[in-house]
Structure 1
Amino acid sequence: MPFNKPFIAGKELYYIAEAVTFGNIAGDGHFTKSCSRFFEERFRIPKVLMTPSCTAALEMAALLCDFEPGDEVIVPSYTFVSTVSAFVREGAKPVFVDIRPDTLNLDESKIEQAITEKTRAIVPVHYAGVGCEMDRIMEIAERHKLLVIEDAAQGVNASYKGRALGSIGHLGSFSFHETKNYICGEGGALCINDERFIERAEILRDKGTNRQRFFRGEVDKYTWVDVGSSYVPSEICSAFLYGQLELLDTIAERRKQIYASY
């Protein structure tokens, strides 16, 4: 029995053909923008930037944190490597905090004892779509003036006390890898809930240029203004994903039925 099989829910293949017909398959075309808008409206997130993977979204979040040598980031002791490597590559030191035995999520009762004068951020991971205790985590972060970056790779369309996972921290991240509930082969998204990060996030995502401002007519030409990388996904992947998002609730219900049958 395979670990997972790609699930075709509706118009994914039709939308891929449509993207090719539109003549823009490089990214940030009709389907990429449609996916971003879907998440912004459905999950009430100020800005969502689609990325090639959740790892890429976490790397962007780490860049936005502007770490200095010796800065520390609190992460759960049980998580996927990308949760940690995204921050280590920007010079941050991971500080591992144990998990709760009931949810396998970061144990919020053990966070404060791990905070030092070098701590800059907390990265809660919503394991298996079960939300961390975000009220407590956000309260701790506010008191200690720390950033919170949600790793909601497994939490798309899940919620905590009525709020979408990924929409609660200052930043959040989604995954659409083929092993997830909603897929496009490889894909992700950066959720920006603190609007002070939006402008720079657009720059980091577009190779360190202000090209998005140029497209909006805010500058007469675009130029290199910051560090960055190529974090824009293919329009082909976005087209497939949009076909999934149109049937978000249908897919969730079908998965519940399969789960119940076992």
Structure 2
Amino acid sequence: MGRGRVPVLLAHGYGCDQSIWRLLAPRLAEDFSVFLFDHVGAGGAAAPFDPQRHATLHGYAEDLLAICRALDQGPLVFIGHSVSASIGLLAAARAPALFSRLVLITPSPRYIDEGDYVGGFSAEDIEALLALLQADQQGWAAAMAPTIMGNPDQPELAAELEQRFCRLDPTVAVGFARATFTADNRADLPWVRTRTLLLQCQDDPIAPPAVGAYMRDRLPDAALVTLAATGHCPHLSAPAETAAAIRHFLRDLIGSDGR
């Protein structure tokens, strides 16, 4: 998809599939060649979910590297939302030659508070959320979707997210959630040399502002942009603002494309 020669690969967050980019991808396609995929267990992914391989985000990072190599587009721009931001960081640290830039939308290397680090949740909060998900996936989806999406003036977006959560196979839902919400990728940040854009929202209960500042200060080459958007999914709630921030960060690549 797209008119440009610069390849951009979009990776969706927890509980979604590639169709979640329906509002952002067409905007990026005006300047880039856009590629989409589904994580294992999501959408139309052919590869199976492996409870052992995908018990941590490292398994997803290996999947991502395999996709990049199969695309064979040269160094590409990776755009990852939420947990896929961490997956992209792990992949870029292992194989930096595959990535020209990273764009991380509402990222967090650690959701759990620890010492001076503010992740947004206590360990007890996370275990309670995981227990609820395992016991009542629909109840968990109904409770979490409005919190994650925010933007109560657009209730249809929270309803869409809730439906996506409910469609996940229960084994995948619990396994991916545990890998996501218990991960700690803070020590990986200094190893990521790829130039990175961090996009956070001004009010995000899942990835609070302190997380963005923490990542900016520990990644070797990172810029932090705080959007006027609220919630955890600006690619849905504010796609024009999100696309504009990405395009500005990648403006030199657009120029090199001769367009």
> For the superposition of Structure 1 and Structure 2, which TM-score range results when normalised by the shorter chain?
under 0.3
TM-score, with structure 1 as normaliser: 0.27
Of structures 1 and 2, the one scoring higher in RCO (CA 8 A, sep 6+) is 1
TM-score, with structure 2 as normaliser: 0.27
Higher-Rg member (1/2):
1
